[in-house]
Chains A and B, each alone.
Chain A
């Protein structure tokens, strides 16, 4: 059971370049999320999705786009990379949080470290 898989693990982009961060989960989770983590900071939500075909903005969506064509995949797109987007990006997934199912919280991927120069 792979859980949440993110690719690539590392990437260096030049200012103005674009790229897609890939995220896939094999747990049949309906919710998926993209977070960024800056040094010494907590996780900031970029976008999330409650199911295939449905996405919504999080706290810091500017400069990013997402799509959710399948339950399994939730790619994050950077169109015009900027130095402020240098960060570690985490994808996560979850069921809805019903305690009687014994389920809780997110399953995170191992992250993509992005540097924009």
Chain B
């Protein structure tokens, strides 16, 4: 099946630092989603991207749909303690609301 790779697997940063993480695949996707999962909770959608090259922000979060359609990036500016969690990317091959492929996640820890 399709596979997504996320890097880094985990990261420890100081509060206030900026964070960058990415998601890559050997397949072309039509939609990219970024989710955050807090401990003991289900993933929550952060940003949805629908078009190659698209750059979308949600507060301190910015995500981009790669030009090749095989990757996506998520940046978090001025990190705060509540940014701690696992960040998942998910890609979709078609536009009809069916199955997404999820990456293994990037675990973010923010040190005070």
Contacts and interface: CB of A to CB of B under 8 A. Distances in A.
A61 B42 CA distance: 20
Interface residues of B, number: 26
19 contacts: A30-B97, A31-B97, A33-B99, A40-B105, A42-B4, A42-B102, A42-B103, A44-B102, A90-B42, A92-B42, A96-B97, A99-B50, A105-B35, A105-B45, A106-B43, A106-B100, A108-B35, A108-B43, A109-B42
Interface string A12-48: 0000000000000000001101010000111111001
A96 B96 contact: yes
A55 B1 CA distance: 20
A67 interface: no
B104 A41 contact: yes
Contacts of A59: 1
Contact of A104 (B4, B45, B104): B45
A64 interface: no
A71 interface: no
